[in-house]
Structure 1
């Protein structure tokens, strides 16, 4: 493609993008298609000769878009959001145009120094200890694995990195029974083993019981295990339950255990001063992770991990062969040494655009709107005799279900699953589910960038309408 055609096509695409953002709520939230429907529309083999951009763009519109789940739709209420915003999209375009590989200071000084400064901005806005330093990863799963590996190497004086496992380590990692699945995966990858994840019981609010944590640690010590790391949650995936960070930090300090705080979704709420009490005690922990790409209007992917002592992370991952050495290595951050991949995208740019465009005040206003909408939806659910909320609404996630006296739990679960599936099948809204104490519950997450009260009112009417249709079929 010649440069002038690129200019022309870029303008076409920006027009399409702007139209999409304006019209996104007119699309069905989820596609109404069967498996392989998209695959079967794509030729069996790649073209030998280049095709026109017109043909490619037409296929994008006619084949790809109809098969997309529209995560930016204001009626996307499932999972956790992967929000974007106009400033973030524009920054992503510039990132792609620059095409920088930001593995070290030398390969892009501005990228490295902007990353450090923006991480400091957000750290201070969230009330995190000013001595902590941050770096940007792709996802919380990667950051959590990195923290676990750093904990492993700190505990063994980096001997596993050098010599591998000797077979006598007997590590244990602790989390609540509502831990995110990325913890399980991290234990597998780190060689610690899934059976060495100790799941600590939770209380009626689904928060880890700190007394049970200490009890499990003492029992493991008596049995010759090595307590390595505790992963606490500031907002679990199922219900956004909050573990007692302060009490857990005191326990990990007492037994010299790494404490990693997983605040992947709910951590954004800490830019609101009224939520910063939740992080009390974090200064005694070791690492903390949250995702601006979930609830801070920054395109996926963008995760920030903060560390009390980054040297443990750097010592775990630093690999500097001769061809990567520079005379400035002792004076700068080379973020390739702060995580698993060597190559790094210029993710700090989109975060910088978002924070500067909204300002902290604008970000806080957005979050407070979402929190107020969640309380409004919560009140509607509470007013319905046959609906119940099964977990505290700590932020903007509501876990609710239909119930009826005389029905078995199995039957109630079947009804709730059918109800949610019928709602989703309309394409007018999208919800996801979890199970709490064996009960199938629908999760209503109100955090999409452009969601307003009209969207939740429409969703509420749809829920009630589809519930009646579901019950009529039983």
Structure 2
């Protein structure tokens, strides 16, 4: 494809994307296809000859779009937001067009230094500790995901806890322990497995009624493990847990971690970017105790996947765990020690120019535009929670400081609440206008409504609430009718059983009478055959009373 052909077809692709965004509200949020439908629409063999771009775009409409769940849809309330924007798409396009590989400073100095600068900008906007800046002892880097960030944080913590021995001898899984809560994202346990510690190294710290990690419970577990000769390596605290956006108390957890010499990693994948908003920043008070911190710009900051912002307070622990320098990567800049080579800050070697899209987004919206976007999502979520609080059909299941609301529908006592709630969820998602997901809170199923798409408006949230109420009412009536039908059938069965029992009793009584009659006839016949008894006359004297005898006695 020549530059001129690219120019022409590039316009066509941009037009296609713009048209897709325009018609997006009219598409069903969740894909209606069945497993295998997409592959069945594709040819068995690849093309031998090239095809025009028009054919590819036609297949986007015919094959791909019907098989998508539309994460950019205004009615998408599932999981967490994963939103892109025009500036992000254009920044990614420029990155793809430049096609640079930013593994080392020397392979593209601008890729490294722009990333350092943008991460320093965000460290300032989020009010993170000075140690997280590139001018301090640590620094920031863009990772592929917070799952990846959790892994590299653990590797850095293991390196520090072992004094660097993990590089030479590997980990000692029988000695090392990692601390999470029941609400911590599953990627932390996955990181523990990948690091070679195994799930037995994970300690699950109790949470309070607010679903946040209890500092006293953490301290007790650390004391117990240290007394047993174990080596606590890392505590993962969460700001905005995945299920409910619970917030672990960093201000209290931090000093405990310092006392035991354990690495404090803060997973703020979803909620971290809310720190841009001054009134929401207190949720992260205590972050100055953190050894590492991660948040996702690709969730709630209008930047397309993948764009995880990861900071570390001591970059030596991170690069000590991950750096390796074969001869073919040696260069004068690296040997001078005066540059950052981001290949030493991540698992993989190669890396895209990820910072460009973030740079585009920040320059287009400005910090205040990003704050407005976050405030909008929070305000809409609070309004939804208010409607649910005032309605007897729903209960707000957990605190909702940000843009996620967990709703527990109320059902009649005889209804299986979890089954009913999942049925409601499927009805909502099958309808195509909205898409929600679920979780469990204290063993009960709840609905999660996460607001965050830039196209979501108050009208969208009002429609979500209307659909929740309408479908709840329909199901409640259906459950009541089903219960009434079951009661009717049960009453009929009882009546039938009583009728049959009465018939059986009557039949039994009749049979008993017949049997009694059958026994009485022979007895009567036997009495008829016996000789009649002749009465014996009693002498009159024997019938006289003593008085009569005395009267009749002769006088002497």
TM-score in terms of structure 1 length:
0.97
1:2-81 paired onto structure 2 within 5 Å:
2-81=2-81
CA contact (8 A) 2:429 2:435 kept: yes
Please report the RMSD computed on the Cα atoms of aligned residues, expressed in angstroms. 1.2
- Aligned-partner Cα distance in 2 for 1:125–1:363: 11
Report runs of 4+ in structure 1 exceeding 4 Å deviation: none
Where does residue 135 of structure 2 map in the other structure?
none
* Alpha-carbon offset, residue 405 of structure 1: 5.2
CA contact (8 A) 1:234 1:267 kept: yes
Where does residue 102 of structure 1 map in the other structure?
102
CA contact (8 A) 1:172 1:196 kept: yes
CA contact (8 A) 2:250 2:289 kept: no
- Aligned-partner Cα distance in 1 for 2:333–2:188: 36
* Alpha-carbon offset, residue 278 of structure 1: 2.4
Where does residue 130 of structure 1 map in the other structure?
130
- Aligned-partner Cα distance in 2 for 1:15–1:103: 33
1:143 pairs with 2:154: no
Where does residue 91 of structure 1 map in the other structure?
91
1:362 pairs with 2:362: no
Where does residue 381 of structure 1 map in the other structure?
388
Structure 1: stretches of 5+ with no match in the other structure: none
TM-score in terms of structure 2 length:
0.83
Alignment match of 1:337 (pick from 333, 337, 344): 344
CA contact (8 A) 2:268 2:295 kept: yes
**Closer/same/farther in 2, CA of residues 197 and 107 from structure 1, 3 Å limit:** same
- Aligned-partner Cα distance in 2 for 1:187–1:473: 47
1:324 pairs with 2:329: yes
The one of the two structures with greater contact order (alpha-carbon pairs below 8 A, sep at least 6) is 1
CA contact (8 A) 1:283 1:308 kept: no
- Structure number with greater Rg is 2
- Aligned-partner Cα distance in 1 for 2:448–2:93: 33
- Aligned-partner Cα distance in 2 for 1:405–1:212: 37
- Aligned-partner Cα distance in 1 for 2:223–2:170: 27
Structure 2: stretches of 5+ with no match in the other structure: 133-138, 480-556
* Alpha-carbon offset, residue 48 of structure 1: 2.2
- Aligned-partner Cα distance in 1 for 2:323–2:35: 44
- Aligned-partner Cα distance in 2 for 1:366–1:328: 41
Where does residue 546 of structure 2 map in the other structure?
none
* Alpha-carbon offset, residue 7 of structure 1: 1.7
* Alpha-carbon offset, residue 279 of structure 1: 2.3
- Aligned-partner Cα distance in 1 for 2:454–2:352: 24
CA contact (8 A) 1:203 1:209 kept: yes
**Closer/same/farther in 2, CA of residues 371 and 323 from structure 1, 3 Å limit:** same
CA contact (8 A) 2:171 2:197 kept: no
Question: CA-to-partner distance for each residue in 1:286-340, whole Å, 9 max, x for gaps?
Answer: 0000000000000011001111111110111111111111111111111110111
3-state SS of paired residue (2:279): helix
1:263 pairs with 2:258: no
1:156 pairs with 2:158: no
Question: CA-to-partner distance for each residue in 1:134-169, whole Å, 9 max, x for gaps?
Answer: 1110100001100001111111122222122456x5
The structure with more helix, counted as a fraction of residues: 2
Aligned residues between the structures: 471
CA contact (8 A) 2:257 2:264 kept: yes
